[in-house]
């Protein structure tokens, strides 16, 4: 205990505050705070000397996908590969992870350029959650990471029953609506630009030749889904 207290006293006030937040969030005491500081550092942070969390996000995304796959494989022993793949994709998709991150309070921990109002409405908090998973893996190893994902993410925030019964393929929903109501529907790529090291796409939804909604993402599929969801909201089409 004394060693732990001495360690805390050696931290900066910002690190002490982050450590307390992490203990509550993770259910254990982190060892190497450098991983966690990096996990919450978005590339938009004005101080140029900081690295971003993108490499940790890459690592965490891969680990999350593997652990979710194992969890679903054991939970649904009689379901097909296609069913498991679809359910896994619904769990690990950026929108789901972003919602989980917001409910966990990760948005209050991420360091980003708050003058860019668009960032707070993007998926940076879900990306930070994936980076946090990468940090936990490097700091604590696979077993602790698996426990964190299963207990603090999936069982705490993922409603599998609701997810199974809800159609979250917004593009398919919108196509079905257009067919039922005899409307011509097209997806149009409105913009492609580099966002730091990655390409950012903007896709528009046109109903009978008129753009009614847009969405952005790091690939056209993701941007199309966001645009379709926005179109469904604008058209007041119920989900599922």
- Find out whether 131 and 38 touch, Cβ atoms under 8 Å: yes
Residues 97, 100: Cα–Cα separation, whole Å: 5
CA separation for the pair 96, 64 (Å, rounded): 13
Contacts 24+ apart (CB under 8 A), 24-32: 25/104, 25/105, 25/106, 25/152, 26/136, 26/148, 26/152, 27/148, 27/151, 27/152, 28/140, 28/144, 29/4, 30/139, 30/140, 31/139, 31/140, 32/138, 32/139
Burial of 147: CB neighbours in 10 Å, binned 0-12, 13-18, 19+: middle
Which positions are catalytic? 61, 130
Q: What values do phi and psi take at 186, rounded to 5?
A: -135, 150
Residues in the chain: 240
d(CA 129, CA 148): 12
Burial 37-67, CB ≥16 within 10 A → b, else e: bbbbbbbbbeeeeeebbbebbebbbebbeeb
Strands annotated E in 31-154: none
């Amino acid at each position: 205990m004394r060693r732990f207290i001495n360690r805390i006293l050696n931290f900066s006030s910002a690190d002490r505050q982050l450590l307390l937040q992490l203990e509550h969030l993770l259910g254990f005491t982190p060892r190497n705070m450098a991983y966690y500081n990096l996990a919450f550092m978005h590339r938009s942070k004005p101080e140029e000397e900081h690295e971003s969390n993108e490499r940790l996000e890459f690592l965490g995304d891969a680990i999350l996908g593997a652990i979710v796959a194992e969890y679903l494989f054991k939970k649904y022993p009689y379901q097909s590969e296609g069913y498991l793949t679809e359910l896994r994709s619904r769990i690990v998709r950026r929108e789901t992870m972003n919602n989980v991150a917001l409910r966990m309070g990760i948005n209050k921990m991420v360091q980003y350029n708050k003058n860019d109002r668009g960032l707070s409405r993007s998926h940076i908090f879900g990306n930070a959650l994936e980076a946090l998973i990468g940090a936990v893996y490097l700091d604590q190893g696979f077993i602790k990471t698996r426990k964190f994902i299963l207990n603090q993410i999936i069982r705490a925030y993922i409603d599998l029953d609701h997810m199974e019964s809800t159609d979250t393929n917004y593009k398919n929903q919108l196509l079905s609506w257009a067919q039922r109501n005899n409307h011509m529907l097209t997806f149009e790529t409105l913009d492609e630009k580099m966002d730091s090291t990655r390409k950012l796409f903007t896709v528009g939804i046109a109903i009978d030749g008129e753009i009614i909604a847009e969405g952005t993402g790091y690939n056209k599929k993701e941007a199309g889904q966001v645009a379709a969801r926005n179109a469904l909201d604008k058209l007041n089409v119920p989900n599922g």
